[in-house]
Amino acid sequence: MRRTGIEVLRGGLPPLPGKLTYQMSIPVAYWTANLRAVVLFLGWEDEEEWFPEMTMATFTRDGDSWTSPKHWMGTGWWHDPIANPRSRRDLGGRAMVTGGGSETVMHGRVAPAVKEIGLIQNGHEDRRPLESHFGAWVVCTDEPSPFRVTAYSKSGVMLADIEGP
As a whole-number percent, the residues of the chain with pLDDT over 90 amount to: 70
Q: What would the pLDDT profile of 114-163 be if each residue is shown by its tens digit?
A: 999 999 999 999 999 999 999 999 999 999 999 999 999 999 999 999 99
Query: From start to end of 15-104, where are the E strands?
Result: 26-32, 36-46, 50-62, 65-67, 73-76, 96-101
Confidence grade of residue 49 (pLDDT, cut at 50, 70, 90): confident
Residue 147's Cβ-side half-sphere holds a number of Cα atoms within 13 Å equal to 25
**Residue 17, in any domain of the structure:** no
pLDDT of residue 88: 87
Confidence grade of residue 79 (pLDDT, cut at 50, 70, 90): confident
Residue span of the structural domain in which 80 resides: 2-10+25-163
**Residue 60, in any domain of the structure:** yes
Provide the number of structural domains found in the chain.
1
Confidence grade of residue 77 (pLDDT, cut at 50, 70, 90): confident
**Residue 16, in any domain of the structure:** no
